[in-house]
Structure 1
């Protein structure tokens, strides 16, 4: 993308996505207000201003192309370290706009949970898409915890004027027998099985550390971590532990979880993964090895670490 075209996209991104005034855009880009007005006019004329406003800007880097080739991904969006806003603030906006560009009337969406997914929902523009469903892929957490699966599902459904389908079951049961029995209940079994028929899944990958969501929410006891690490636990997908190779772990914790079968998740054609924290490098690597992403939104720093191996 030529430098002049980049400026057009950046101006449109700041003005339409971040709602900056023209004079604020001018200060960020170090150009005149008159130039901003001209760039915005060109953006409208070229069709840059759409539901996926200027996300093309984040797809055009050499790093994105290299990662697509190296990892076999359909599309990578890279938020540069020198972006107008810190990557942690910018990534949810990029992800929300890119996600909207991939859905349409009748799309069946699966959604996981966590801070990243909720921030994407919060950054998402409203849309009125006919026949869209948004399904929760894993059981729920206790009321005091923020960014619960049901919250993430219903907020995205609200933004899209879609039907939200919650999974009315706990994420983790007290015993394997109880979890097995609940999975075989008709309403739970049908909803979990339906995840494989979705068109797109929106999620992140969690870490397996003492300060990770799965521990802080009480789902996984911190005292279990040393043994799980010894067994190779590296990431969390839909509340379930995966090992370094991206494989589901056959462990007591996973056998007590109510969540979609990870093989069913991998049958979803578009697996839209978003990672904000650079510290999740190992967890993301595991998710990529396991085939959990076809589309990826990350920071430049994390992209460089992935490319370096």
Structure 2
């Protein structure tokens, strides 16, 4: 097929633009373009090259990971985190898919931080259950997996949900499991104080205090959330009212906190089996996994309290968190700066 001779540069550029439109807009092959324009395939390729070389065509790749990196940097700087991992997810996919992808990322990330001769503390809950569904086996030596909070309720002290969760993590890392067979909330604070003096309980508390990694999420009190603490029959109506009076925005390991991160004077915490939240501040890795926009106020409170050192979060929730942080503090969180 003879190649046409272009009269001038302008006519060559016009042909290059036409070829580029057919190739990129109409998704035509170089062979189809050659037939349509009565050109050789090599001439079509040269015209595409001319279009690129002269700026007639610009290719832009929207890499979700690049967007996520800028959000990670802002989160890290704004909240003084050791690290933030933002998981790119399609916003239209829905929060169930966001959680699945965050859980998959977390399961993979854990294999980079969990190693031999470690103690790993885990706060049971819906998010941790999702992570356990995607664990990738890794062989380690001398690793202890310890439950951070009790899970018993009025139906029984031993919770299959939490025990199975601890076992799954332990089996994944060839580790020793240490379930915590006490109620999530005691009926009486003095009962908790007495039990905390028992040697068997002291052994669990000692492991918790020596944890190299604290793995948790943030629970929130919302009718639209599936946080196990609020949906699993652990709290009476009067206790939920008490949390509202104390202006609670969330919990970590069944220990509650306000929007400003204060927690020590919340009434229900005296009966909670979870660790003092100051323990999360002292651990080498306090890794919090969050997914879903309804958790924004809860995770803000946890960040203000300094309970999180590393955050794994989906991108839409991360952006909502940053947007909320740029707004004036609501009346619920006027105690900012007050020591926890």
Q: Verify same fold: TM over 0.5.
A: yes
What is the aligned partner in structure 2 of residue 92 from structure 1?
103
How far did 1:59 drift? 9.4
Aligned to 1:10: none
Residues 1:70 and 2:94 aligned together? no
Alignment of 1:25-174 (within 5 A): 61-82=69-90, 86-142=97-153, 148-174=161-187
Q: Which moved more, 1:157-166 or 1:215-224?
A: 215-224
Aligned 8 A contact 1:199 1:268 in 2:
yes
Which of 304, 312, 325 aligns to 1:297? It is 312
**Residues 129/58 of structure 1: CA separation in 2 closer, same or farther (3 Å cut):** farther
Is 1:118–1:152's contact at 8 Å kept on the other side of the alignment? Answer: yes
Once residues 217 and 182 of structure 1 are traced to their aligned partners in structure 2, the CA distance between those partners, rounded to angstroms, is 24
Secondary structure at 2:297 match in 1: helix
> Does the C-alpha gap of structure 1 residues 241 and 58 become closer, same or farther in structure 2, counting only changes over 3 Å?
farther
Deviation readout 1:54-83 (Å, 9 max, x if unpaired):
xx9589621111111111112211122328
Distance 1:176 1:141, change over 3 A: same
Q: Which has the larger radius of gyration?
A: 2
Measure the CA separation in 1 of the matches of 2:316 and 2:120: 29
Distance 1:122 1:58 in 2: 28
Preserved contact between residue 148 and residue 208 of structure 2 (Cα < 8 Å): yes
Deviation at 1:176, TM superposition (A): 1.7
Partners of 2:68 and 2:315 within 8 A in 1 = no
Partners in 1 of 2:277 and 2:172 — Cα distance?
A: 27
CA distances 1:254-303 after superposition (whole Å, capped 9, x unpaired): 21122222212321110010012221100010111111111111111111
- 1:167 and 1:224 map into 2 onto residues whose CA distance is 23
1:194-231, CA deviations, whole angstroms, 9 ceiling, x for partnerless residues? 31211111110100235542222222223433342232
**Is there any run of 5+ residues in structure 1 with no aligned partner, and where?**
1-55
Q: In structure 2, do the counterparts of structure 1 residues 207 and 84 end up closer, same or farther at CA, with 3 Å as the change threshold?
A: closer
Residues of 2 paired with 1:70 and 1:243: CA distance?
19
Partner in structure 2 of residue 247 of structure 1: 262
- Residue equivalent to 2:188: 175
Matched position secondary structure for 1:61 = helix
Q: Any conservation in 1 of the 2:89–2:98 contact (CA below 8 Å)?
A: yes
Shift in Å at residue 178 of structure 1?
1.3
Alignment of 1:203-214 (within 5 A): 203-210=216-223, 212-214=227-229
- Preserved contact between residue 121 and residue 213 of structure 2 (Cα < 8 Å): yes
What RMSD in Å do the two structures reach over aligned CA positions?
A: 2.5
Q: What SS is found at the alignment partner of 2:257?
A: strand
User: Per the alignment, do residues 251 and 61 of structure 1 end up closer, same or farther by CA in structure 2, a change over 3 Å counting?
Assistant: closer
